[in-house]
Structure 1
Amino acid sequence: MPLKVELQPSNVIDHVHTGILQTPFHSRTSALNINQAWANWNGYASALSFHDEHIEYFATRNTTAVFDVSPMRKYRFTGADAEAMLNRMVTRDVSKQKVDTVAYNVWCTDAGRVIDDGTLFRLTDDDFMLCCADPCLDWFLLAAVGFNDVSISDISDDIASLALQGPTSCALLKALGFDGIDNCKPFQIVRFPFGSGELMISRTGYTGDLGYELWVDPADAVALWDALFSTGELYGIQPMGEDSLDMARLEAGFIAPDVEFHGALGTVNRHHDHSPFELGLSWIVNFKKGHFTGREALLKEKESGEHRHLLRLDIEGNKPAEHSILYAGENCEKEIGYVTSAMWSPVVKANIAYGLVEAKYVKGPIWAEIYHQKELRWVRKVARCTVMNRPFWAPDRAKATPPPDC
């Protein structure tokens, strides 16, 4: 008897979306997006820039910028086994994380290769929210095998979120009546009544500056946006897109998926994925907590020391080293790595980059082969690279509690 398969049309399956989706803030972001320049982030329209990415970028350094983070994937882990399950999956010790705090994490394959990174919110003793750039539900469900009392759900569409970033962000929130927000410490969570429910505010962000992320019911999203922009005019508020956010995160020394690393589950070629050690994330790999996925492979890698290193580079000159190959000498004979991200930093006044370099060459010398255009003609330049041990941009206000108003 021949196999017969009857497929349901997508319009009768409630979880299958057709076409680009709109975030809860789209009525406001689309009205301000003069360029109508959009990217597809997890099926949602995400602004690349609204008018000029440099103006938006400077708002994160001088006033306040707002980025719609709603397309980020958000997952809820609840139950008595939630902590133990997460502790086996991620590289940090979840048992040490306090309630109402946020912790940056990565999770790996058994081979110690990074699947994705994200932020873990501990809401109560047995209630967590994990946010990441790309969908990971299948891996989370697989990681939960063997734990009887843990429930995992995709709540991405149930929460609208904004990143409010810049030196006047705290002053703006105080002006909106969120009393005590200035006492919120980095990576802490506080809550306030808002609209029909509650506004959760975490002192987190992706710019390396003073900033917060706001989490609210989608029904109250427009009211939150309007409140921010009506009061925020005096605080220099600007919407920002992905292009300006990418500039800020590079200055801050933050990595980006599909830029600095490929998620291991989506990598076609062997060795084109990455370990936490290669990405400079050894500080969040905790071997003292006991077993976690990838522990054995990562321990061997740590002991060998033969892994690549993602380095922060200060490159001579003012021509960004985008897509450049890195060499051990000025003659460009020995290839030792490549640049993942590069830009001329307006605030730091430096030519900065991230470069992935083979282990035995990390102490230098390192040279970048840069190609740039001059009046439509391509010019080749070889520039010396200096390794920087700290983020390019890390103002004191980012960690100060209470932070200054400007």
Structure 2
Amino acid sequence: MTLDLATRKAAQPHFHTLLLESPFHERLAALDKTNDWYGWAGHKAPHALDDEELEYFAIRSTAAVFDISPMTKYRITGPGAVAFLDRLTVRNVAKLGINRVHYTAWCDDHGHVLDDGTLFRLGESEFRLCCQERHLPWLLDSAEGFAVDIREETGEVAGLALQGPTSYAILKEAGFAGVEALKPFQIGGFAHEGCTVTISRTGFTGDLGYELFVPRALALSLWDRLFEAGKFLGIRAIGYTALNRARIEAGFIVANADFMTAETALRGNRLRLPDEIGLDWMIDLEKPNFNGRRAIMAARAGKTLKHILVGMEIDGNVPPEHALVYHNKRREVGIVTAAIWSPLAKRNIAIASLERPYGERIQDGLWVEIYALRELQYQKLMKRARIVPRPFVTLARRSANPPGLF
């Protein structure tokens, strides 16, 4: 018996599951000129909507809007929420004030990083945890014995990142009175369509910027409010390519790009402790026990840390994305995880994962091997690499109080 196409599709639905559309997809699709979409956490998201160069310069010159709705979001509430999150994450949650945000990470029992993300304290016992991967089974297992309720709210909450020098001016023009009082990593609630939009002074660009969260039903009205206010202030919707350039300049890392998360890695030598990806500064060893604490302390005491994540400046102007790193042009010692020619810094910059002691005690004699495609032929380039501090770009407006109108 021969099955028609519709019957075959119905019999194999997992092959034909469509990507979800974000609450802002209608507005994004109307602006799209490239049809350059990718899958982000099961959602359809744009690499670029128009010219990716103009989208990058919107971040640095005016204001850029990036849809962060696909970002995984968990609501964690209950009298045991602080104790649970202190047990789960490496930072001291008790020190996080109400209406504040901090960047954090969490590990498995071996000290390997499961993910990094932002933790929003919305009330005494109410939190929102935002991250790259989905972790509900892990969170629920870790909550055993704690008086806490955990649920995923990714699909219920729409989110926008508004980033760039005119971002505050747009919020002011949009009528969000009092938003100028928000300091970096502070949260406020503002009226919108008879409901509340949560605005935090946070972002992933290293620039002046904010993140806005509303119930899904109010997504399009929030978008329209911002774009009406920003029509003379250079507002532009952007895709991930432009955002990625800005985050590299800011020295920020991305899960499963600059490091493999513990649940995603297939090979044991791909796992990383916080100290091996530059997150050692956030670990609070004075607070009660947390997942991975013993393993992290043992690695530090025994000096068994194997890797280090570093910033690099590379000779020339060809970005060495995913290039191998060598010592004295002979010994392979690591790989570049992210790289761009920085329009703002006017430097060829990169983030690289190296095998210790390279990048730690041994910092000289590093080279990257680049294969540049030129007129249908690859040309091998060996370029000198120097270890430099991150961030590669520091902008005073990011932390200015009050923010400027620019």
Matches within 5 A, 1:79-118: 79-118=78-117
Of 285, 288, 313, the residue aligned with 1:287 is 285
Q: Secondary structure at the match of 1:287?
A: coil
Q: Do the aligned partners of 1:301 and 1:307 also contact (CA within 8 Å) in 2?
A: no
State the partner residue of 1:386.
Answer: 386
Matches within 5 A, 1:6-155: 18-147=17-146, 149-155=147-153
Structure 1 consecutive aligned stretches of length 4 or more whose deviation exceeds 3 Å: none
Of 350, 356, 361, the residue aligned with 1:359 is 356
1:67 maps to a residue whose letter is F
Whole-Å separation in 2 of the counterparts to 1:72 and 1:360:
35
Q: Secondary structure at the match of 2:116?
A: strand
State the identity as a percent: 43
Q: Do the aligned partners of 2:67 and 2:160 also contact (CA within 8 Å) in 1?
A: yes
State the partner residue of 1:4.
Answer: none
Whole-Å separation in 2 of the counterparts to 1:367 and 1:290:
43
Q: Secondary structure at the match of 1:244?
A: helix
Of 340, 345, 360, the residue aligned with 1:343 is 340
Q: Secondary structure at the match of 1:360?
A: coil
Shift, 1:27, TM fit: 0.8
Shift, 1:304, TM fit: 3.4
State the partner residue of 2:219.
Answer: 221
Q: Secondary structure at the match of 2:98?
A: coil
Q: Do the aligned partners of 2:171 and 2:229 also contact (CA within 8 Å) in 1?
A: no
State the partner residue of 1:243.
Answer: 241
> How far does the alpha carbon of each residue in 1:207-264 deviate from its partner, in whole angstroms, 9 at most, with x for none?
1100000001111111111111122111101101011111111110000111101110
Q: Report the TM-score when normalising by structure 1.
A: 0.94
Shift, 1:18, TM fit: 4.1
State the partner residue of 2:7.
Answer: none
Whole-Å separation in 2 of the counterparts to 1:220 and 1:90:
32
Q: Secondary structure at the match of 1:351?
A: strand
RMSD of the alignment, in Å? 1.4
Whole-Å separation in 1 of the counterparts to 2:393 and 2:299:
30
Q: Do the aligned partners of 2:176 and 2:191 also contact (CA within 8 Å) in 1?
A: no
1:268 maps to a residue whose letter is L
Q: Report the TM-score when normalising by structure 2.
A: 0.94
What is the number of equivalent residue pairs in this alignment? 389
2:189 maps to a residue whose letter is R
1:290 maps to a residue whose letter is P
Q: Secondary structure at the match of 2:270?
A: coil
Shift, 1:44, TM fit: 1.1
Shift, 1:110, TM fit: 0.6
Gap runs ≥5 in structure 2? 1-9, 11-15
Tell which deviates more after alignment, 366-375 or 297-306.
Answer: 297-306
Tell which deviates more after alignment, 368-377 or 237-246.
Answer: 368-377
Q: Secondary structure at the match of 2:263?
A: helix
Q: Do the aligned partners of 1:64 and 1:238 also contact (CA within 8 Å) in 2?
A: yes
Whole-Å separation in 2 of the counterparts to 1:391 and 1:302:
25
Whole-Å separation in 2 of the counterparts to 1:271 and 1:377:
33
Whole-Å separation in 2 of the counterparts to 1:318 and 1:287:
42
Whole-Å separation in 2 of the counterparts to 1:40 and 1:337:
28
Shift, 1:293, TM fit: 0.4
Gap runs ≥5 in structure 1? 1-10, 12-16
Q: Secondary structure at the match of 2:379?
A: strand
Q: Secondary structure at the match of 1:288?
A: coil
Q: Do the aligned partners of 1:79 and 1:151 also contact (CA within 8 Å) in 2?
A: yes
